[in-house]
Structure 1
């Protein structure tokens, strides 16, 4: 649901008669609220029960999706997407449920399988909507999504028992407001920086406000006995390096998610690209989804034997290789498919390794908040990476044509490859040996 609106944005802009900047909020509103909700709902799941919060999360998601399907104005649709974002914090809750319900030896593979669904869903969200919009209308994107969400809600109700594992406490409203305000300001500055100008008063003001709010959040949380998010966890080397790696991996990987479809849709008259339709562009990402399906569980099995430092380092190296392939050889369709497949292995390994590293480094009662923060770091990194990649591409234009020059894409892919290399260094800085297991 995060990406399903992307192929429909041109249709939405035309139907509602709004600018490109206005319609981009259909995507940004979801991103902003999901980043905040991920950390908050993850912690609430630790406090009140993960099954209960997962049901509540899916119910909110369903309400937002229904409202989106019924929207008759851009304002209503943006509000609906914001509600959807609040209900999208499923991954931290799911990781906690797996840890509570599965035998210890099966947890790494299960977390790896769940992690793979992120990339699979991301790729599906770029392929399926083109078919839906062509055959029906953009509203059906949300009707189809609503059916899947309701099916998931029923499945959770029937098949998942509630866990007795709790981290008692009270709702830290001050922390929630400070964290939410800081993340919204940060992501808004990143999302709009390219449009407003990175040195504009609005962008700099939001960045300054974000820093002030997040510093205040850390100070407040460090003085509470039972905070919303235990910042003391960052003193654990495994947690700190995993969050740093998640930030940098997110920065690098979103370059492919956003740049590859744009590259292949470029008309061949520009001297590169394949003139692909929106649906065809989504198909270029299918190999990534397929390899992720197998790579994430494989990373779980490998990590269970060697520790998850090795899968994370391998993830970064393989991911860098995928971006190098994109940068060096994107003039044939088969090289794009191959690059996507290679990158899928890297991303699949990364998602599984990061989740397992964090889960192994914290107490079971802190699974939701710790994995929630890791997801936030990946989201912030991804937002920043996507915007910087788009800025690099947009800074190079083909003379006489309204399309970017090929060199812009090459530079953006090189940047992503470099980011994955830096992420490998962050992974190597984590505790333990590559073949010797993990220590907190």
Structure 2
């Protein structure tokens, strides 16, 4: 029997999509605090257990643009439900995994959920009136940004109290009811991209993502100068060139390179790499920074649970900021919001570097960082989604998310090299200068995102486009050459 969805409304659509997306976003950081327990229980080593993170990262990176494109072609709601199924099946399998190999397979299946991001943006674009799309996208971006932090906060207490397998209950509690709501409340998308999936381009895109993310994620373990790492980077470069050539010459490209290289899009993609580096470098090392022992001369000596609580100001301001992007956009455009908010991020990371003597100081700095990140995360997505034709929403926002993922791997690798490279003594505690240099480097990277965004605004003006994102928050789609 065919079940007819309930009458669609923008609020119902947003609620159903947000609940489902929240289930996946918790997985971004949910496993990391539980890695020592997983390692001990499954009898593996540090290198082996790290694959539970790497496998998920690569699977999500590949699935995000590919399934986003499929959704553009065959129906976003249909593919969205498929992605939720991946999260549910993968989480159940992970919770029951008897071996590391099974757990890694489960994490790959979970990675299919990454496609929910671009698919959700496309569904929101259709469900909301044009003047309300920025607010809807900002709210969903806030859910995505906050979800990763919530996962990091919950993972420690849950795994300590109930074991590491219990952490996978969190995405299930959100994904199962979310899937039901999407099934009955969200209509199928009307806009469909013509043509067929470009299989050669899809294989090349998947190949260079894997070849690039593998050494970025494991280079510190394998050795950055090792033949394997160097060889994978070389392979990634060759595959990127081949992929770009295939896409440029194709009549039915997987990713329209002309759109990606347009003045409205490429600065946002470049900024996404830098923003991803800043975001995850801080996410990864802020908790560790405040956990360093007081005996180090600079550490606050907080427990794992206390450091999680200290992230709450960051998560709270991040969530609030995301919902403000749309209303602010009526008087201050998205690119201007990105530039000013990146300024807040730069100031807060400089504060972490040089002003960190008390808990309340780092809490304020975290709150400022979260507010800036919430605005940036939402505004950059709004620019991308509203600057491309409706039939390219999934793949364009998926590629932007992927570039942010690549940036996150680069940022964590840089921060790891700087901080751990400063460690001294038998305990291997990093020096204060190591953290100062690390956060200062993050601030410099954030400044680069400001420069790229300003350049994008200048290019938009020079092309004679009405820079709507700088005045009203509503983007005008960029004409794409035939």
Tell me the TM-score normalized by structure 1.
0.97
1:309 aligns with: 335
Taking only aligned residues, the RMSD between alpha carbons, in angstroms, comes to 1.4
Say if 2:141 is the partner of 1:96: no
1:151 partner SS: helix
Contact 1:126–1:279 under 8 Å retained in 2:
no
Counterpart-to-counterpart distance in 2, 1:193 and 1:108: 38
Say if 2:101 is the partner of 1:75: yes
State which of 63, 66, 69 in structure 1 corresponds to 2:89: 63
Counterpart-to-counterpart distance in 2, 1:279 and 1:4: 14
State which of 294, 297, 305 in structure 1 corresponds to 2:320: 294
1:183 aligns with: 209
1:88 partner SS: helix
State which of 272, 283, 293 in structure 2 corresponds to 1:267: 293
Contact 1:92–1:367 under 8 Å retained in 2:
yes
Per-residue deviation, residues 399-426 of structure 1 (Å, max 9, x unmatched): 3432111211111100111111110000
- Once the two structures are overlaid, the 10-residue window that deviates more, 145-154 or 373-382, is 145-154
Which residues of structure 1 form unaligned runs of 5+? Answer: none
Counterpart-to-counterpart distance in 1, 2:35 and 2:137: 33
Per-residue deviation, residues 92-125 of structure 1 (Å, max 9, x unmatched): 0111011011011110011001101122111111
1:306 partner SS: coil
User: Matched residue pairs, number?
Assistant: 440
1:159 aligns with: 185
State which of 199, 202, 208 in structure 2 corresponds to 1:173: 199
Say if 1:229 and 1:435 are closer, same or farther in 2 by CA, change over 3 A: closer
Contact 1:303–1:310 under 8 Å retained in 2:
no
Per-residue deviation, residues 366-415 of structure 1 (Å, max 9, x unmatched): 11111001001100001110111011101101334321112111111001
1:124 aligns with: 150
Counterpart-to-counterpart distance in 2, 1:185 and 1:249: 22
Q: Where do residues 26-425 of structure 1 align in structure 2 (5 Å cutoff)?
A: 26-425=52-451
Counterpart-to-counterpart distance in 1, 2:128 and 2:471: 24
1:419 partner SS: helix
Tell me the TM-score normalized by structure 2.
0.89
Counterpart-to-counterpart distance in 2, 1:129 and 1:247: 27
Counterpart-to-counterpart distance in 1, 2:75 and 2:321: 30
Give 1:269 deviation, angstroms.
1.9
Give 1:23 deviation, angstroms.
0.9
Give 1:254 deviation, angstroms.
1.4
Per-residue deviation, residues 218-259 of structure 1 (Å, max 9, x unmatched): 111112112111111123101011101111111112111001
Contact 2:260–2:396 under 8 Å retained in 1:
no
Give 1:435 deviation, angstroms.
4.3
Counterpart-to-counterpart distance in 2, 1:172 and 1:435: 35
Contact 1:252–1:419 under 8 Å retained in 2:
yes
Contact 1:314–1:349 under 8 Å retained in 2:
no
Counterpart-to-counterpart distance in 1, 2:274 and 2:234: 21
Per-residue deviation, residues 171-210 of structure 1 (Å, max 9, x unmatched): 2221111101100110111111112222221111000000
